Structure 1
Amino acid sequence: MKIDQYFQGQPCWVELASLDIAISKPFYHALFAWDIVDMPIPQGTYSMFNLEGDDLGAMYQLPVEMIKTGELSQWLIYFAVEDLDNTLVDVAGAGGTIVLGPHDVGEAGRMAVITDPEGAKFALWQANNHMGAQRAGEKGTLCWVELACRQPKIAKPFYSHVFGWGSRVTDMDGMEYTAWQVGSQEVGGMMTMTDEWGDMRAHWMSYFTVGDCDAKALQVVELGGAICVPPTDIANVGRFAVVNDPNGAVFSIIELKIA
């Protein structure tokens, strides 16, 4: 499905910071059939991935100096905002922290990287010539984003204040689950981390649509990645798995149930 507009608070882009982009490129091309298009930028190369010419997200090589400081391969989710500067005022007022930016990205738009009060990292995007991902709702595209945190009573008012999100709380297999809403559309969720998560930090997770979760999870391993959470059913939703790419970046794949 083609996308031609994003509204305040909708996830609009994903970006992979890679420890070794020479490994990341063939992995994601094989797994999701993404075409990789390199674009020169002042810092090096920004590698866009797309389907049939439509941009879906991007990846880049982590600089050596960042790797030396302990930076790891990781996915970053961007959320659309109508006015970046005003949103940053809301971020500060709600207890968030600006860790990068704000700055212009050529003529494409303006961005900033944020951490919420618990330290979960995400990015804001005010579009100019590039709105973000141009497709959704098909295999290989981002379909859901999810916040795992330990303090949902702090996270909920923070994100509602910054993005204007509504929320709907449901019981999911005995666990309270919050769905984030932009108008009537559910765009993501929030779950509470338990002691079983160990010392893992609060974080945002990207979910990509696949046709067969079990087969795709096996392919991840065949391509040099690993399975963190094996394929598991979610009642009335579908079947998902949490995986690592060969560089350790974590993401989820989900086979959505067709009504």
Structure 2
Amino acid sequence: MPEVTTAYKPGTPCWVDLMVKDQQAALDFYRDLFGWQGEVGPAEFGGYAVCALNGRPVAGIMAAMAPEGQPEPPNVWTTYLASDDADATARAVTDSGGSIMFPVTEVGTTGRMLVAADPGGAVFGVWQPLDFFGAHVVNEPGALTWNELNTTDPDTAGRFYQQALGLRPAAVEAVPGYVSLEVGGRSVAGMQRLADYLPAGTPPHWMTYFAVDDCDSVVDALVKAGGSVIQPPFDMAAGRMSVVTDPQGAVFAVIAAPGAP
């Protein structure tokens, strides 16, 4: 199993979490779909649940809470990018044309976080690790395997993420229009224009990809559990993938690498 044992380099996606109206229903759904173990957490942390795969943290699930008088937030997966200084990153975000949606906050002794939006409106989180550096398992069925920015303006987004978080954009010659986001010369995320298969009016966003061993069977199980399919399974360079929603409407993708059943 590809285990992560050290902190992620700044700019690298390090964690994902789901904000959803019915937390327990989400915990049950992802347990059945991916084999996650998780339960509602301590009240002092808003009941935040850290979900594990074979005992290793892979993702979080929390209950959505709307401030009094505010509309209910959407059910959504959020990608967190690593930082070694959340305060400095917050300043870099605003200096580079982004905006802070949730200011730098201490999360006990685990780390410091913020939530921001890039110039195109795509929302992402920033995580500065203290006791907790993020996902302990990646690139394994049931775990995070890729994070991808879908945007209306790749050029502006590329400049923003390089200036604010050190992610260097690089064209992928084998896939016209696709951009790799690199840290230290290694591809850690992707970027493309909003895909045609997404519903009309879909705003810029970060897409979370989970690895699976069989894309078609996982999608079938998801539909039987109340989820829905945005893009049916199809073959592409990185494997066989599908874009789906869970029963509460949160969008994510599943992908089986080449050679998987």
CA 134–166 in structure 1, closer or farther in 2 if over 3 Å, else same: same
Give the superposed CA RMSD.
Answer: 1.9
Give the Cα separation in 2 of the matches to 1:140 and 1:155: 29
Give the fraction of aligned pairs with identical amino acids, expressed as a percent: 35
Q: CA-to-partner distance for each residue in 1:64-84, whole Å, 9 max, x for gaps?
A: 657961422100111110111
Give 5+ residue unaligned stretches, structure 1. Answer: none
Q: Which 4+ runs in 1 deviate beyond 3 A?
A: 64-68, 194-197
CA 227–195 in structure 1, closer or farther in 2 if over 3 Å, else same: closer
Residues matched between the structures, number? 257
SS at structure 1 position matched to 2:161: helix
8 A Cα contact 1:17 1:75, kept in partner: yes
Picking from 214, 217, 229, the partner of 1:215 is: 217
Give the Cα separation in 2 of the matches to 1:66 and 1:3: 39
Give 5+ residue unaligned stretches, structure 2. Answer: none
Tell me which protein shows more strand as a share of its residues: 1
- Report what 1:224 is aligned to: 226
Q: CA deviation at 1:193?
A: 2.2
CA 171–219 in structure 1, closer or farther in 2 if over 3 Å, else same: farther
- Report what 2:241 is aligned to: 240
Q: CA-to-partner distance for each residue in 1:44-90, whole Å, 9 max, x for gaps?
A: 31111001221111101112657961422100111110111111111
Q: Which residue identity lines up with residue 248 of structure 2 in the other structure?
A: N
- Answering whether residue 198 of structure 2 is matched by residue 193 of structure 1, we say no
Picking from 73, 76, 80, the partner of 1:74 is: 76
Q: Which residue identity lines up with residue 243 of structure 2 in the other structure?
A: V
Q: CA-to-partner distance for each residue in 1:11-63, whole Å, 9 max, x for gaps?
A: 11111001111221111000000001332132631111001221111101112
- Report what 1:118 is aligned to: 120
Give the alignment's TM-score, normalised by structure 1. 0.93
Give the Cα separation in 2 of the matches to 1:206 and 1:181: 17
Q: CA deviation at 1:184?
A: 2.7
Give the Cα separation in 1 of the matches to 2:167 and 2:130: 23
- Report what 1:54 is aligned to: 56
Q: CA deviation at 1:158?
A: 0.2
SS at structure 2 position matched to 1:104: strand
In the TM superposition, 1:1-259 aligns within 5 A as 1-5=2-6, 6-42=8-44, 44-63=46-65, 65=67, 69-171=71-173, 175-193=176-194, 197=198, 198-235=200-237, 237-258=238-259
